[in-house]
Amino acid sequence: MSALSDAGPTVARQLSERVLAVRFEELPANVVSMAKRLITDQIGVQLRGSTLPNVQPVRRLAESLAGKAEATVIGLTALVPAPQAAWVNGTLGHSAEYDDAHMAAWHTSSAVVPAAMALAERDDRSGADVLTAVVAGVQAMGVLGSVAGVGMLSAGWHGSKVLGVFGAAAAAGHLLGLDPRQLTNAFGIAASDAGGTMEYDRSGGEVKRLHAGSAARIGTEAALLAELGLTGPSTIFEGHRGTAASSRCSAVRRRGQSRPRRSGSGGRSSAPCSGSSRLSRRPIRRSTRCGSCERRMTSARKT
């Protein structure tokens, strides 16, 4: 069975085309400068993270597992497979809570940068290639987070992990030279591991540090699997059982689906968001979020 529908371009397909259209020579100077800062900052917090005891089990596990020597893990002398390097480095990058935060997409660089760096090292890609992949990955997370991030928060899902798998897949897919169909499949594959509850802020545990690294690994592996021919659901974002439904936000549902029914007493929508449904070529602005999402975004920025 084909993973893609003939009903028209899905959100994943549109996002894939936008991601793959990013070109280094077309990036504004301030965007290139910011991407360099994000990468430098991420490497710095990874170095700090490599000294912290709370994430040493992750590094020790990577060191104990045999694998193809492809990419560097901060603090280890031996190279490890690229997805594994993305996993450990992303965990180190999030371990001290000093990694950068995007107002719509949570912690982007701890998922995107390790994925891009690991594959770039494996394939001997240029600095310009890495910068372009990072921009593409952060943009993908920002687009998705701007319409679904608050719904994830209210449902108890950690956006850094849920959105991070797609940012990492976008960056990895860009570096691998996937075509739109393959990257659409990569998004569908990555979504099967787009979890990560926030129960850690109720009963503790250091597992939160793992979320960014896991997202980096999952996105990298999803892109590699799509390159090899594995398929995923093309309606993974707006589908009836897609990520929008699981995060309780309907802002990315396709045009043509019915809006949520209003309650009889207060007249409020039964869903937290019922904003614009279709991704466009223009940047998504705040006005695309409905009022309830906008009001709750303040609390999301603090998480």
Cβ(115)–Cβ(216) under 8 Å? yes
Please give the single-letter amino acid code of residue 19.
Answer: V
Would the pLDDT of 235 be above 70? yes
Q: What is the pLDDT of residue 247?
A: 64
Rounded to whole angstroms, the Cα distance separating 285 from 276 reads: 11
Rounded to whole angstroms, the Cα distance separating 11 from 278 reads: 7
Q: What is the pLDDT of residue 248?
A: 58
- Percent of the chain topping pLDDT 70: 78
Rounded to whole angstroms, the Cα distance separating 189 from 111 reads: 16
How far is CA 50 from each of CA 37, 55, 64, 150, rounded to the nearest angstrom?
A: 20, 8, 16, 31
pTM for this structure? 0.81
Q: Which of 53-57, 76-80, 222-226 has the highest mean pLDDT?
A: 222-226
Cβ(120)–Cβ(130) under 8 Å? yes
Rounded to whole angstroms, the Cα distance separating 109 from 42 reads: 6
Cβ(251)–Cβ(244) under 8 Å? yes
The yes/no answer on whether domain 11-301 falls in CATH 1.10.4100.10 is: yes
DSSP letter string over 124-161? T--HHHHHHHHHHHHHHHHHHHHHHHHHHHHHTB-HHH
Rounded to whole angstroms, the Cα distance separating 154 from 224 reads: 32
More confident site: 274 or 113: 113
Domain borders along the chain are 11-301
Would the pLDDT of 79 be above 70? yes
Please give the single-letter amino acid code of residue 235.
Answer: T
What SS3 string covers 198-215? CCHHHHCCCCHHHHHHHH
Residue-wise pLDDT tens digits, 45-69: 999 999 999 999 999 999 999 799 9
Q: Is the dihedral of CA 222, 223, 224, 230 positive or negative?
A: positive
The structure tokens 């077309």 sit at 26
